[in-house]
């Protein structure tokens, strides 16, 4: 099928048909069928009438729907005018026969509305006050935390520096200890060599010379050992002092960290306390808004009913003349639309 339509609208000549009817014969038969359908339609008067009736009814339906939509809109506009008329008369405190009960109900609702609006202002003021206190509390705790962090910073830097120095000192002690062990080993080996030389069959002069050399060598090693021992003693003393300082710094850091942690917990509790109270007042505000909305909704039908009574009585008042004129025009348009729908 796709190939057929592609070839149908293609500018290139169609490929020659291998089987079935020729290409031109297909289009010829299709044209004949269309002509027959048109001929039958023109000859069948009843079919034409039914089609005309169908399209006419459809047209009437669409017109009716459009007119009904306009009518609905005009009626809604009239209700708005009646409400505005009733509201105007209520605001002007006009004396209206048959409408005193409605006016009394409206006065009660108006009083309730005023009380609700006053209560709403108080609730909003309370929420704003709590939010202000919450912000002040947050700033107060933030300042305290910043101060403690500022105090903590030099301790942390000093602790890092002390740990690094301790690490270097430990490496020096380890190196010196290895050096001391090496010298001790050489001293032992030198002593053993001197004993062996004494047992050899050497002349007294040779023994004396060799023993002198060994003695000088051993003295030199002994001096090196003493120097290293002294250095080790000094290094151990330094590292003891450094470890002591490190513990003091860790203690001071732990104290500051504990204080910061407690301060953060205290801040969190204060924040939760304020947020909980604000949430409760927010609920009260929502309830107040709902009540106010219901109160205003109750007034709308009363204004409409009062407007109907005033429109019927046509109370003589300069401020109401405009509403009377608008309502009359709306009634005229509604009547015209109803007649049009009726005559369809």
59: burial class by Cβ within 10 Å (0-12, 13-18, 19+)? exposed
Q: What is the rounded average pLDDT for all residues in the chain? A: 80
- Position 94 scores a pLDDT of 82
The 10s digit of each residue's pLDDT in 83-114 is: 999 999 888 888 777 888 998 999 999 999 99
Predicted TM-score (pTM) of this structure? 0.57
Mean pLDDT of the region 23-49: 78
What are the DSSP calls for 56-111, one per residue?
HHHHHHHHHHHHHHHHHHHHHHHHHHHHHHHHHHHHTT---TT-HHHHHHHHHHHH
Closest CA to 248 of 158, 166, 169: 158
How far is the C-alpha of 337 from the C-alpha of 63, rounded, in Å?
11
- The CATH number for 87-313, chosen from 3.30.450.20, 3.40.50.970, 1.10.287.2610, 3.40.50.300, is 1.10.287.2610
The 10s digit of each residue's pLDDT in 199-253 is: 444 455 555 555 555 666 667 777 777 777 777 777 777 777 777 777 887 888 8
pLDDT: is 297 or 41 the higher one? 297
- Position 9 scores a pLDDT of 42
What are the DSSP calls for 109-120, one per residue?
HHHHHHHHHHHH
Instruction: Work out the end-to-end distance of the chain between its first and last CA atoms, rounded to an integer number of angstroms.
Output: 48
Mean pLDDT of the region 135-152: 88
Q: Retrieve residue 219's tokens.
A: 């003295």
Instruction: Give percent above pLDDT 70 in the chain.
Output: 83
How far is the C-alpha of 236 from the C-alpha of 149, rounded, in Å?
33
Q: Retrieve residue 172's tokens.
A: 């020096």
pLDDT at 63 over 60: yes
pLDDT: is 184 or 151 the higher one? 151
What are the DSSP calls for 330-344, one per residue?
HHHHHHHHHHHHHH-
How far is the C-alpha of 10 from the C-alpha of 25, rounded, in Å?
19
Residues near 235 by Cβ (< 8 Å), separated by ≥ 6? 169, 172, 173, 176
How far is the C-alpha of 69 from the C-alpha of 337, rounded, in Å?
10
Q: Could you identify the residue written with the tokens 């339509």?
A: 5
């Amino acid at each position: 099928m796709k190939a057929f339509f592609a070839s149908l609208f293609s500018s290139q000549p169609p490929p020659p048909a291998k089987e079935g009817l020729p290409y031109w014969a297909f289009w010829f038969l299709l044209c004949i069928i269309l002509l027959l359908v048109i001929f039958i339609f023109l000859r069948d008067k009843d079919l034409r009438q039914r089609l005309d009736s169908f399209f006419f009814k459809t047209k009437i339906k669409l017109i009716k729907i459009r007119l009904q939509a306009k009518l609905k809109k005009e009626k809604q506009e009239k209700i708005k005018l009646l409400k505005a008329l009733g509201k105007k008369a209520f605001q002007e405190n006009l004396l209206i026969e048959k409408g005193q009960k409605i006016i009394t109900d409206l006065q009660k609702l108006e009083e309730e509305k005023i009380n609700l609006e006053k209560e709403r202002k108080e609730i909003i003021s309370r929420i704003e006050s709590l939010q202000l206190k919450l912000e002040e509390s947050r700033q107060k705790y933030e300042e305290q935390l910043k101060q403690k962090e500022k105090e903590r910073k030099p301790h942390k830097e000093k602790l890092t520096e002390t740990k690094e120095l301790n690490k270097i000192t430990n490496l020096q002690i380890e190196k010196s200890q290895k050096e001391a062990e090496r010298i001790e080993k050489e001293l032992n080996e030198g002593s053993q060599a001197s004993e062996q030389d004494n047992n050899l069959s050497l002349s007294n002069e040779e023994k004396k010379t060799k023993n002198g050399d060994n003695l000088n060598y051993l003295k030199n090693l002994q001096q090196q050992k003493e120097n290293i021992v002294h250095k080790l003693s000094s290094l151990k003393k330094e590292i003891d002092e450094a470890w002591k300082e490190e513990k003091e710094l860790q203690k001071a850091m732990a104290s500051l960290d504990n204080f910061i942690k407690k301060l953060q917990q205290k801040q969190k509790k204060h924040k939760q306390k304020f947020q909980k109270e604000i949430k409760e007042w927010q609920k009260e505000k929502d309830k107040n808004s709902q009540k106010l909305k219901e109160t205003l909704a109750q007034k709308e039908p009363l204004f409409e009913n009062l407007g109907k009574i005033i429109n019927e009585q046509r109370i003589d008042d300069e401020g109401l003349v405009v509403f009377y004129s608008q309502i009359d025009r709306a009634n005229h348009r509604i009547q015209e639309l109803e007649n049009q729908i009726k005559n369809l």
